[in-house]
Amino acid sequence: MNRTKVRRALVSVSNKTGLLDFAAKLVAEGVELIASGGTAAALRSGDLPVTSVEQVTGSPEMLDGRVKTLHPRIHAAILADAGNPDHRDQLYRNDLAPIQLVVVNLYPFEDGVVRPEMTTEEAVELIDIGGPAMVRAAAKNHRWVGVVTSPEQYAAVAQAVADGGLDDDLRLDLARQAFYRTARYDAAIVGWLESLAGGVPERTILALDRVAELRYGENPHQHAALYAEHGKKGWWTEAQQLQGKEMSFNNYLDAEAAWRLASDFAEPTAVIVKHANPCGVASRGAMHEGFSAAWECDPLSAFGGVIGLNGRIDEPTARLIVENFVEVVVAPSVAESAAEILARKKNLRVLVAPAPRSDDLDMRRIENGFVAQRRDQVVKTQPGKLPDTWEQVGEQPLSDDLLIDLRFAWIVAAHAKSNAIVIAKNRAAVGIGAGDQSRVGAARRALQQAGDRAYGGVVASDGFFPFRDGVDTLGDAGVVAIVEPGGSMRDDDVVAAADEHGMAIVFTNTRHFRH
């Protein structure tokens, strides 16, 4: 394995963390340090010998520091192929010595643009030009040059220099990291510039870091991994897993569905999800009561489900959880006594997590591409009051209790796969028909699940009823109120059917399809 002995290092860093200690180790190994502006001053403050970039280029910094290292004498020293006699001869004729190590971290553009007080002019000045140019040059010439782009790499590189040089594997790994660093830097700049236009961006670049390799994907024959957008946090990246087996591909998808739905409720609410669809949801004054009511919705489907609880897991709730087979529980906190009870189920995954944020771009993969949209959000409503976009369209009066149940059912329906019908009663789902190809089919499935509990209940439909048959089916089962978007060519027929069955009906004028 070939080793590159480091004789000269170019150092130009914005983040000075660990710089003096690293540079001192290089100097101790006889490495000549070349540095620009503020980096040179920092090295001199640590009594380290340094050659300024101006001494190498023969040119002063220009344009308030915008031009420092953008010079042929810098880039030739980095890009020279040490195995090419002609390159070596050109360096000799121009009195240039090659540079074997480039240490650069970039202006903190990503950190700067997230500050609300940052102006456009200030953000522009944080766009690094010379830094990425040097990083890319060194990474291109990684056969002969090492490139360091993060203080986290200092220890390994310093040790390699002390051991006689940078070997092939290390230089290649550093180059991979370097090109990714400049790629995600450019991605951040593109994202910022696109954000100035507003709306869905015309162009977007995703910079993804692999967080973990997963045992397999949706099925055992599929390879899988978990990725996070660099520099961004999701609830799952901040979650703390208290116990249980590693999270699987399906666990993450179901936990996302359960946690988002639970977090859409203000009152204590328990959610049970199976295959990314809710199969039980209930709001109660006490969390253990909500869990029991949610489980009663569809105990068969709840078996092996993923639980989202938007309040603290207390001892009574923990006792109910361990009585059943559950894969994952997500909650904002867990009482110490409850944690001891949950620990009896060693394989049960327990996550403590912050509430999800809903301002990201929702992207879904199609072959060699994506579809993207702003994430759907359910309009929060006040108890006893119709939201501004909702309108009562039928003849039957709407009581406060019915409105509360309609609000509850509407939130659940917005999180169920289309076509979705949710039957609710006393702030608990009693029947959920989700992912059906027809709306009347979803209604029949929800009614089959609800049984006698549908009598006196309310229904939410994520899309409008195209015909009155769905309303007739629900009315015959004793449903007393419906909330749906409206907008069908046959809305008059649908409202007439509701009136005939004595059902109150509300149009939201907003639909919540979920595919």
As a whole number of angstroms, the distance between CA 451 and CA 503 comes to 18
pLDDT tens-place string over residues 296-310:
999 999 999 999 999
CB-based contact 19:42 (threshold 8 Å)? yes
- The DSSP code for 311 is S
pLDDT recorded at residue 114: 62
Handedness of CA 293, 297, 299, 304 (dihedral sign): negative
SS (H, E, C) 205-251: CCCEEEEEEECCCCCCCCCEEEEEECCCCCHHHHCEEEECCCCCHHH
Average pLDDT in the 175-193 region?
87
pLDDT tens-place string over residues 354-392:
998 866 778 888 878 878 778 888 876 666 677 888 989
The single residue of 25, 71, 245, 275 carrying the catalytic annotation is: 275
Structure tokens at 348: 């049960």
Please state the pTM of the whole predicted model: 0.82
Q: What separation in angstroms does the CA of 353 have from each of 313, 350, 497?
A: 12, 10, 45
CATH number of 3-195: 3.40.50.1380
Average pLDDT in the 76-93 region?
83
Average pLDDT in the 185-192 region?
83
Residue-averaged pLDDT of the chain? 88
Residue 295: count of CB within 10 angstroms of its CB = 23
**Residue (of 156, 362, 407, 412) closest to 261 by Cα position:** 412
Query: How would you classify residue 208: left for phi > 0, otherwise alpha for psi between -120 and 50, otherwise beta?
Result: beta
As a whole number of angstroms, the distance between CA 48 and CA 488 comes to 77
Q: How confident is the model at residue 128 (pLDDT cuts 50, 70, 90)?
A: confident
pLDDT recorded at residue 260: 93
Domain ranges of the chain: 3-195, 240-352, 386-507
CATH number of 386-507: 3.40.140.20
CATH number of 240-352: 3.40.140.20
As a whole number of angstroms, the distance between CA 405 and CA 456 comes to 11
CATH topology identical between 240-352 and 386-507: yes
pLDDT recorded at residue 60: 75
Concerning whether 140 is annotated as a catalytic residue, the answer is yes
Convert 209-244 to b/e letters by CB count within 10 Å (16 or more is b): eeeeebeeeeeeeeebebebbbeeeebbeebeebbb
Concerning whether 346 is annotated as a catalytic residue, the answer is no
pLDDT recorded at residue 426: 94
As a whole number of angstroms, the distance between CA 57 and CA 60 comes to 8
Query: Which CB contacts under 8 angstroms, 24+ apart, belong to 442-451?
Result: 443/470, 443/473, 443/474, 444/473, 445/421, 446/421, 446/422, 447/423, 447/473, 447/474, 447/477, 449/297, 449/298, 449/423, 450/423, 450/477
> What does DSSP say about strands 481-484 and 458-461: parallel, antiparallel, or unpaired?
parallel
User: For the residues of 389-442, what is the DSSP string, one character each?
Assistant: T-EE-SSS---HHHHHHHHHHHHHHHTSPSS-EEEESSSBEEEEE-S-SSHHHH
The single residue of 87, 140, 230, 245 carrying the catalytic annotation is: 140
Average pLDDT in the 166-181 region?
92
Q: What percent of the chain has pLDDT over 90?
A: 53
pLDDT tens-place string over residues 449-459:
999 999 999 99
Q: 3-state DSSP: the chain helix, strand, coil percent, rounded to 5?
A: 40, 20, 40
